[in-house]
Chains A and B, each alone.
Chain A
Amino acid sequence: MDNNSNNIIVLMVCPVSNYLEQEIEKSFKVFKLWHFEDKEQFINTHKDSIQAVVGSAAAGADAELIESLPKLEIVATCSVGLDKIDLARCKEKGIRVANTPDVLTDDVADLAIGLILAVLRRICESDRYVRSGEWKKGEFKMTTKFTGKSVGILGMGRIGTVIAKRAEAFDCIIGYNSRTEKPNLNYKYYPNLIDLASNCQILVVACSLTEETQHIVNRQVINALGPKGVLINIGRGLLVDEHELVSALLQGRLGGAGLDVFEHEPDVPEELIGLENVVLLPHVASATVETRKAMADLVVGNLQAHFGKKPLLTPVV
């Protein structure tokens, strides 16, 4: 391990947590891009010294940034999603990429189930019903049972698999759509997403965002899910055609939605704000004390491994 690792400069492109900053600063010199008003000028000044970029779901390393940092060796993202990183360009230039898989899988899956229950059982709405004093005027409304329902999972990766296992504990019937069928899974595979949506009541979006999957949940899929159907998105906002989603909810062509992610975070379509059959979260699927620490440790661990000339802990490229 290089004893002068404190001279290695890491550029954080967006705030993540105080803890992550402190931990990186223990071994490296850190520049925080959001502290600088003129980001272009800052990069111009320091481009020859920046050797690592740390990002998150909010920001990563696009082609422009990569091209402007000739000494860049590694991009470490505090997220499992890679959609903010130009992977092809990194590969091309021999830049390493590391993310934070596995440590957040349980929390994201828990939130998916939490959102399903919140939407079906109207938990948030009923909490407001109590807080506003409405309960004194009369009973709350009827809701929809979760146990035994059919759940469709788009993307049967690490997170999708764990969501399925939890839904099984509620005696749910599981179906899924994925790029390829997974061997040894007891769930019904639907090669066509519209078929999956037609055959489930709750569709959970759990796949990664790539060029191919942008707006994969489109008008036809939403219509297939239908007026009694519920869409849960814990993947990425761009996986769903948000404009179509809003219109379907307003017109009653879709029964409800639980959303942790949006096309243009932190913006949320205003039309959704007044809808009681919609639960909106500010991208918090991995936001627990335990998991955020584990993610930060993994980012730091990857940086230390790379600059210590050891194998990356969780390499992508």
Chain B
Amino acid sequence: MEAYHGHGKEKESQDLPRVLLFKPPPDFHLFGDECFSSNKFKFLKAWESPLPLDQFLKTHAQSVEAILSSGGAPVTAETLRLMPAVRLVMTTSAGLNHVDIAECRRRGITVANAGNVFSEDVADLAVGLLIDLLRNISASDRFVKQWLRPRQAAEGDCYSLGIGSKLGGKRVGIVGLGSIGSLVAKRLDAFGCSISYNSRTKKPSVSYPFYSNVCELAANCDILIICCGLTAETHHMINKQVLSALGKEGVVINIGRGPIIDEQELVRCLVQGEIKGAGLDVFENEPDVPKELLALDNVVLSPHCAVFTWETFKDRQKLVVENLEAFFSNKPLLTKIVDND
């Protein structure tokens, strides 16, 4: 019975199916309010109401069939209980740890994510962080810009920050050979690295050596790249033993999730020189970063922005709209994780 519309809608739009948005997607601010628009559905914007969320849902969202979760807005069992008509949860992320998947399954709700739309960008950043780390790019840029002129070639090696390390010929261990991990492998292969991996299961079509145990992978590589998702099993998977196996000459790159690595242990290893360096886009308690890392030149720090490219945001908008339109037309979704049709 409610007549809650977004602003500026025409009479026809009253008939359009609605998609619940908890909070404004970052895309609205960057691209304008119409970037997820469609003539096949309209948005129910929870943040525009003065009501607290649970009341808002009880009052206005009883017949809403789809939720679009952006910016990691959690979709909990409690939320789903308040929205009995929901049949689809669509998230703008690839990660799903903010969605209660088990509850969705129980309720027969289809879950769809942004699929592989970011994979290239995330893989590119993994490579960018790695080259930066081995070749001191951020440290050198900082050095040049702070001191106005590169240091004069002095006696001894010509560079005060410490000479770099060659990438070619190094052994790369990829943890999680999914969409992102495969793209990282393809890129580093071209740099003359030798690739091996650890994954939940061995991939039969892949010729890279497989290690069933991440510790063994670490013992046999110079560069460990974390490309897997965060689950109960992968939480703190990169621990003291793994870092010790990686060793003094080893480096780690994390573009997965912060809690996959035991951050305290990682910091200790870096400070004490038990591993050589790290490139990190993710942390356990973002945006907090252990202060010990801020003083190190052998780490490259990135503010969880591996997917922040104009191109990928546009591709993702297109994907989200196409998925929602397919849902409301009873057509197959492009990227679904849990199929409860």
Contact surface of A with B, Cβ cutoff 8 Å:
14-18, 58, 106-107, 110-111, 113-115, 117-118, 121, 123-124, 126-131, 135-136, 139-148, 165-166, 168-171, 265-268, 270, 273-274, 279-284, 287-292
The answer on a CB contact under 8 Å between A114 and B132 is yes
The answer on a CB contact under 8 Å between B163 and A123 is no
The answer on a CB contact under 8 Å between A283 and B150 is yes
CB-CB nearest in chain B for A292: B163
Q: Which residues of A contact B311 (CB under 8 A)?
A: 144-145
The answer on a CB contact under 8 Å between B165 and A131 is no
The answer on a CB contact under 8 Å between A110 and B132 is no
Q: Name the contact of B168 in the complex, choosing from A14, A110, A139, A267 (C-beta under 8 A).
A: A110
Q: Name the contact of A268 in the complex, choosing from B148, B189, B303 (C-beta under 8 A).
A: B148
A-B contacts besides A110-B135, A145-B312, 19 pairs, CB < 8 Å: A17-B158, A106-B167, A106-B191, A111-B131, A111-B137, A124-B142, A127-B138, A127-B302, A130-B302, A139-B305, A142-B308, A142-B309, A144-B309, A166-B187, A266-B151, A266-B153, A287-B163, A289-B166, A292-B163
The answer on a CB contact under 8 Å between B141 and A118 is yes
In chain B, positions 84-129 with a C-beta closer than 8 Å to chain A are 120-121, 123-125, 127-129
Query: CA of A114 to CA of B144 in the docked complex: distance in angstroms?
Result: 17
The answer on a CB contact under 8 Å between A145 and B163 is no
Q: Which residues of B contact A129 (CB under 8 A)?
A: 303
Q: Name the contact of B124 in the complex, choosing from A121, A131, A290 (C-beta under 8 A).
A: A121
**Given that A136-B287, A141-B308 are contacting pairs, would A292 and B303 also be in contact in the complex, using a CB cutoff of 8 Å?**
no
B56 interface residue, CB < 8 Å from A?
no
B245 interface residue, CB < 8 Å from A?
no
Kindly provide the distance from the CB of B94 to the nearest chain A CB, expressed in whole angstroms: 16
Query: CA of A111 to CA of B145 in the docked complex: distance in angstroms?
Result: 18
The answer on a CB contact under 8 Å between B166 and A106 is yes
Q: Which residues of A contact B158 (CB under 8 A)?
A: 15-17, 287
Q: Which residues of A contact B150 (CB under 8 A)?
A: 265-266, 268, 282-283
Query: CA of A273 to CA of B148 in the docked complex: distance in angstroms?
Result: 7
Query: CA of A284 to CA of B125 in the docked complex: distance in angstroms?
Result: 21
The answer on a CB contact under 8 Å between B166 and A291 is yes
CB-CB nearest in chain A for B288: A136
**Given that A128-B142, A142-B30, A169-B190 are contacting pairs, would A123 and B294 also be in contact in the complex, using a CB cutoff of 8 Å?**
no
The answer on a CB contact under 8 Å between B121 and A145 is yes
